[in-house]
Structure 1
Amino acid sequence: MVNGKHIVLAVTGGIAAYKACALTSKLVQAGAEVKVMMSESAKEFVNPNTFQALSRNPVYDWTFHEPDPSKIAHIDLADWADLVVVAPATANVIGKLANGIADDMITTTLLATKADVYLAPAMNVNMYNHSAVQKNMQTLKDFGYSFIEGEAGYLACGWTGKGRMAEPEVIADMINRVFEERDTNSLNELKGKHVVITAGPTQERIDPVRYFTNHSTGKMGYAVAAAAKRAGAEVTLVSGPTNLPRPAGVDVIKVISAEEMYQAVMSVYDSADIVIKSAAVADYRPKETFEQKRKKSPGEWSVEMERTRDILKTLGEKKANQILVGFAAESENVEEYAKQKLLKKNLDLIVANNITTPGAGFGSDTNIVTILSKDGEVKNYEQQTKDAVAKQILTDIIDYIERNRNE
């Protein structure tokens, strides 16, 4: 999928710069046209002639070198790129980009480009975990930059931990998938649509130290939010407590309890075109809560529970022109229970899975789903990553809209 694509590779000053040589070679062999930028410190690790030979293009290493007087080099390069990859991305360049500093060829080009930018961090584990670096990375994610994380392992400095740059094969595969999604993406109809997604668990408070919750991590909902944003939608993500980074460009409303999630969803429901409710919302909450920690005492303690509001049912009752999608996380009779929920709650589609199946439960990076539609379609999907499942969910929603457009 990278054949004929324009890829700008920015190499900054770390020992992992040697891996960028292999990455350049792989991309060129796959048919991409690669232009390499190097920082001054990167040239202390790899000679620019190496990248020139591998890419068969001149290397850009000085902002004020203008070989073509009719063009401004860093602007021309920024406009030329279909995709920009920073590998390795040091703490220094991450900090500069997060703060809008443009003092060399790489940073001036990155601030000028409208292409998607992917960064592959590489640094000492203590640098990586430093609060300033983490803050800068989160800032860049909020700006819309993406990160290609490497695995924890032995580092050149002698430490072991996170900070090792992703392998060239991993980065090349990611680049290939980015272009594959672009070239095969049929989700352009989401452009101009407002998609509301719920994700994660809720926490139902007992006292200041205790609460009821569930095993949901929010991974599926966050993947759907990211996919919807890539498809051009305006996305609002109503999220229970998770440890996941905010998907780039997505408006996130953080909530804790089922009641807070209800209020947040209802506040945006009227403006929504599509609502995808993947959150695992508590069905019950403690009837009595305590302002102070309830102290241990002899004997048993019974907590009386009361029903929370049924958000999905309420949305189904109030539905006007919205497409409403629910989730059914079941442990038995999956398709039967999903069909019942589809009808009972006035849904358009429902995504069902068996949480007891390996590779499909809470916290997994993969899922195995069945998608049922109100008009009778039932589609079973094999185990896929949650990113792939998210894309399939959106594709099935659009197919459903097309099938029922004239009704």
Structure 2
Amino acid sequence: MDQTRVVLGVGGGIAAYKACELLRLFTESGHRVRVVPTASALRFVGAPTWAALSGEPVATEVWDEVHEVPHVRIGREADLLVIAPATADVLSRAAGGRADDLLTNVLLTVRCPVVFVPAMHTEMWEHPATRANVATLRERGAVVVEPAVGRLTGADTGKGRLPDPDAIFELCRRVLARGAAADAADLAGRHVVISAGGTREPLDPVRYLGNRSSGKQGYALARTAAARGARVTLVAANTALPDPAGAEVVPVGTAEELRTAVLKAAADADAVVMAAAVADFRPASRAANKIKKQEGRDPEPVALVRNPDVLAELSAARPAPGQVVVGFAAETDDVLANGRAKLARKGCDLLVVNQVGEGLAFGTEENEAVVLDASGGETHVPRGPKEVLADRIWDAVAARWASAAH
């Protein structure tokens, strides 16, 4: 079987050093990688480093190895082109169709999926020219990942940081899994909001009422949506997972905090997927100090009050026109019957029903579910990686959008 061929373009930014780790992840997983840096990138990491790590020659100009017409050969052979870091200059030249070095020439010859991973100062990322270039590239079917928020060069902090190489690699892995299909970036131009994890309701400064949700299914939804071109807002409740590349992560703790964050993000969202396990109840009051055990006395009963029903609220309000709302139902028995009843009660468009219990769903790498449609359809997704279920959910969401457009 032929090796998957990846072209790693490297722009001239300080984050170029992180591309060395991304290159290692590709090569160690069996991919054949050709690095195509810009001339500016070689000021940060030299050609011998790229050649040694990839085992392939390194060139920046079309005049190198000219007898092989390198830009055409590299482009035709590629299964994936990822540019990390993609500087403001690279984005501008790519959007304008420039062909003034080997990387931009290759961009014009590839017919495989293209992923841009921007990295730059916040002001450059937010500039109207950069935003217009990003929009143009997304309209052409490229996946342009949202940069991470964090430490930039010097003392600056903000949006514009290159995501961690592990997260970039996972996103690229999902893009490769979808292949060169015409709909590989079928969520491009869409804003999706995903809740993940499990809320915690404090009893006192030490204890809380919680649940066993790890957030893995919600994070899989975020990774797959970003790989399909969506702008992703991930509302994460008490998770311990690395941020997915391309997702804006909003950390929350309680159900009330989750409600506030989801409703804010949903104002312009095309879809909201409520994968988080949100507590139905919370303590009526929170003790200011740790509740002490008293010898010979049973503890006082804990009075509970209802938390807001975020899924039902979203389904009724529909903050954005044409918004698709997806709920989750974790059931232990009568799974489909309870799921259909919840779908009718909540008023959402789709409901993902899965059985939970020891070794099932919570904290595992795999999941099995049935996706129920408000129109009466149901799709069974057999046990497999949570990313497979995530893709089937996005397929169902995209089908709802397509149906509404006709």
When normalised by structure 2's length, the TM-score is 0.65
Q: Is the 8 A contact 1:285 1:307 kept in 2?
A: yes
The answer for the alignment partner of 1:303 in structure 2 is 302
In the alignment, the residues of structure 2 paired with residue 294 and residue 262 of structure 1 have an alpha-carbon distance, to the nearest angstrom, of: 28
In the alignment, the residues of structure 2 paired with residue 195 and residue 69 of structure 1 have an alpha-carbon distance, to the nearest angstrom, of: 43
How does 1:391-406 map onto structure 2 within 5 Å?
Answer: 391-406=391-406
In the alignment, the residues of structure 1 paired with residue 395 and residue 2 of structure 2 have an alpha-carbon distance, to the nearest angstrom, of: 23
Which sections of structure 1, spanning at least 5 residues, go unmatched? Answer: 87-96, 98-108, 118-133, 150-170
The answer for the alignment partner of 2:313 in structure 1 is 314
SS in 2 for 1:220: helix
Deviations 1:338-366 (A, max 9, x none): 101111111110011111274x4211111
Describe the shift of the 1:403–1:9 C-alpha distance in structure 2 as closer, same or farther (beyond 3 A).
closer
How does 1:220-239 map onto structure 2 within 5 Å?
Answer: 220-239=217-236
Q: Does 1:218 align with 2:219?
A: no
Q: Does 1:276 align with 2:273?
A: yes
Specify the code of the residue in structure 2 equivalent to 1:355. Answer: V
Deviations 1:261-307 (A, max 9, x none): 11222223332221110110011111121112222223111211111
The answer for the alignment partner of 2:340 in structure 1 is 339
The answer for the alignment partner of 1:355 in structure 2 is 356
How does 1:5-404 map onto structure 2 within 5 Å?
Answer: 5-8=5-8, 23=27, 27=31, 34-35=34-35, 55=56, 58-59=57-58, 68=63, 82-83=80-81, 115=115, 143-145=161-163, 147-148=165-166, 178-184=175-181, 186=183, 188-298=185-295, 299-301=297-299, 302-319=301-318, 321-356=322-357, 358=359, 360-404=360-404
Specify the code of the residue in structure 1 equivalent to 2:332. Answer: S
Q: Is the 8 A contact 1:141 1:248 kept in 2?
A: no
In the alignment, the residues of structure 2 paired with residue 245 and residue 27 of structure 1 have an alpha-carbon distance, to the nearest angstrom, of: 23
SS in 1 for 2:203: strand
Deviations 1:132-184 (A, max 9, x none): xx989xx99974545349xxxxxxxxxxxxxxxxxxxxx9x997754232424
Which sections of structure 2, spanning at least 5 residues, go unmatched? Answer: 11-15, 86-101, 108-113, 118-149
Identity %: 32
Q: Is the 8 A contact 2:197 2:236 kept in 1?
A: yes
Specify the code of the residue in structure 2 equivalent to 1:68. Answer: W
In the alignment, the residues of structure 1 paired with residue 186 and residue 361 of structure 2 have an alpha-carbon distance, to the nearest angstrom, of: 31
Describe the shift of the 1:287–1:333 C-alpha distance in structure 2 as closer, same or farther (beyond 3 A).
same
In the alignment, the residues of structure 2 paired with residue 377 and residue 364 of structure 1 have an alpha-carbon distance, to the nearest angstrom, of: 27
Q: Which moved more, 1:174-183 or 1:221-230?
A: 174-183
In the alignment, the residues of structure 2 paired with residue 24 and residue 311 of structure 1 have an alpha-carbon distance, to the nearest angstrom, of: 43
Q: Is the 8 A contact 2:205 2:290 kept in 1?
A: yes
Deviations 1:106-156 (A, max 9, x none): xxx99xx98557xxxxxxxxxxxxxxxx989xx99974545349xxxxxxx
Shift of residue 252 of structure 1?
A: 2.1
Describe the shift of the 1:296–1:349 C-alpha distance in structure 2 as closer, same or farther (beyond 3 A).
same
In the alignment, the residues of structure 2 paired with residue 270 and residue 9 of structure 1 have an alpha-carbon distance, to the nearest angstrom, of: 36
The answer for the alignment partner of 2:129 in structure 1 is none
- The CA RMSD over aligned residues, in Å, is 4.6
Q: Is the 8 A contact 1:202 1:256 kept in 2?
A: yes
Describe the shift of the 1:178–1:265 C-alpha distance in structure 2 as closer, same or farther (beyond 3 A).
closer
Deviations 1:44-83 (A, max 9, x none): xx996x97xx65xx346xx9xx793899xxxx89x96844
Q: Is the 8 A contact 2:200 2:209 kept in 1?
A: yes
Q: Is the 8 A contact 2:6 2:31 kept in 1?
A: no
In the alignment, the residues of structure 2 paired with residue 47 and residue 200 of structure 1 have an alpha-carbon distance, to the nearest angstrom, of: 42
Q: Is the 8 A contact 2:225 2:232 kept in 1?
A: yes
Specify the code of the residue in structure 2 equivalent to 1:325. Answer: V
Specify the code of the residue in structure 2 equivalent to 1:346. Answer: G
Describe the shift of the 1:35–1:261 C-alpha distance in structure 2 as closer, same or farther (beyond 3 A).
closer
Describe the shift of the 1:47–1:344 C-alpha distance in structure 2 as closer, same or farther (beyond 3 A).
closer
SS in 1 for 2:180: helix
Specify the code of the residue in structure 2 equivalent to 1:213. Answer: G
SS in 1 for 2:239: coil
Q: Is the 8 A contact 2:187 2:225 kept in 1?
A: yes
Q: Is the 8 A contact 2:171 2:226 kept in 1?
A: no
The answer for the alignment partner of 1:93 in structure 2 is none
Describe the shift of the 1:261–1:4 C-alpha distance in structure 2 as closer, same or farther (beyond 3 A).
closer
SS in 2 for 1:350: strand
Q: Is the 8 A contact 1:2 1:175 kept in 2?
A: no
In the alignment, the residues of structure 2 paired with residue 260 and residue 248 of structure 1 have an alpha-carbon distance, to the nearest angstrom, of: 24
